[in-house]
């Protein structure tokens, strides 16, 4: 499913956050949203799924305004993994994942065979089958992140929004989460939109990239063409160099902060 934002402007607490932002997220593609802190990346993600409703402009799925879908219908199409999330202390991994099935359940109904299949699939996709009876609070950071990701996957969304999915994880678990995201995209052609801080993750794991700076779109398109040393200088005020790693991928490495600019 294609997701389109048209002339999105947002003011929160009297402060302008986004100004006339228009962008397209193409069906079955992985798009990374990057930019400086406070640029409006997370705000845009929340607008795209109506977690923020106070905005001007339009958001459309395959040409249809998302305001017309209704809460449950939209949740059957779209899932979001926000930065802020909490669950009761005694919640098990399987219980947490089952929360993702709420939009699909009938009123007062228990799990259907389809619910059970979706939960099992989410456990397998995130490699948590052996953890399903563990309390979420007892998990390591990487395991906990995978459990929350599994909850969104249990919704079986056509569009998946991820707000900084690798934050606070070590390098190994960052790569594990990014590999799971890529696997989901490859297997189910899920449209994935993710806010990322790691420039090289954006280059290596996305099909398209959207850069937000000063409340508006700075650039959009192919990550290899857009995410260059020059771009890092203009957007993040850093000097950077590039090199090719052992896998043949070109990597950008920030060297130092520029002495003037931001």
**pTM across the whole model:** 0.93
For residues 77 and 158, the answer to whether their CB atoms sit within 8 Å is: yes
Residues of the chain with pLDDT under 70: 107-109, 260-262
- Which residue ranges make up each domain of the chain? 3-87+155-227
CA distance linking residue 229 with residue 105, whole number of Å: 49
Q: Torsion over CA of 90, 91, 93 and 96, rounded to 10 degrees?
A: -170
* Rg of the chain (C-alpha set): 19
DSSP state, residue 261: -
The CATH number of domain 3-87+155-227 is 3.40.50.300: yes
Tokens encoding 139: 């998990």
Q: Provide the 3-class DSSP secondary structure of residue 18.
A: strand
Query: Taking the alpha carbons of 96, 60, 50, 29 in that order, is the dihedral positive or negative?
Result: positive
Tracing tokens 């040393």 back to the chain, one arrives at 229
pLDDT at 262: 44
Q: Rounded distance, CA 34 to CA 210, Å?
A: 6
Count how many residues are written for the chain: 262
Q: What is the pLDDT of residue 108?
A: 61
Minimal CA–CA distance to 167: which of 30, 42, 23? 42
Beta bridge partners of 217: 212
Tokens of 55: 């905005």
pLDDT of residue 88: 86
> What are the residues whose beta carbons fall under 8 Å from the beta carbon of 40, sequence distance 6 or more?
10, 17, 18, 21, 212, 215
Q: How many CA atoms lie within 13 A of 194 on its CB side?
A: 28
């Amino acid at each position: 499913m294609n997701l389109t934002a048209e002339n999105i402007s947002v003011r929160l607490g009297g402060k302008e956050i986004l100004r006339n932002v228009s962008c397209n997220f193409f069906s079955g593609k992985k798009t990374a949203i990057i930019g400086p802190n406070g640029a409006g990346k997370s705000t845009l993600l929340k607008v795209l799924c109506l977690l923020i409703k106070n905005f001007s402009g339009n958001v459309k799925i395959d040409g249809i305004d998302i305001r017309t879908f209704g809460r449950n219908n939209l949740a059957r199409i779209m899932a979001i993994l926000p930065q802020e999330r909490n669950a009761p202390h005694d919640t098990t991994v399987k219980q947490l994942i089952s929360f993702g099935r709420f939009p699909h359940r009938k009123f007062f109904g228990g799990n259907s065979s389809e619910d059970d299949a979706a939960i099992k699939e989410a456990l397998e996709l995130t490699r948590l089958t052996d953890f399903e009876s563990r309390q979420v609070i007892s998990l390591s950071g990487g395991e906990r992140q995978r459990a929350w990701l599994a909850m969104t996957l249990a919704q079986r969304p056509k569009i998946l929004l991820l707000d900084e999915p690798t934050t606070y994880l070590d390098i190994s678990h960052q790569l594990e989460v990014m590999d799971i995201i890529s696997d989901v995209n490859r297997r189910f052609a899920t449209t994935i939109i993710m806010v990322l801080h790691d420039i090289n993750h954006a280059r290596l794991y996305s099909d398209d990239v959207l850069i937000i700076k000063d409340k508006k779109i700075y650039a959009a398109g192919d990550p290899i063409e857009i995410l260059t040393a020059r771009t890092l200088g203009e957007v993040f005020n850093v000097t950077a160099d590039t090199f090719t790693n052992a896998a043949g991928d070109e990597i950008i490495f920030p060297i130092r902060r520029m002495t003037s600019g931001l």
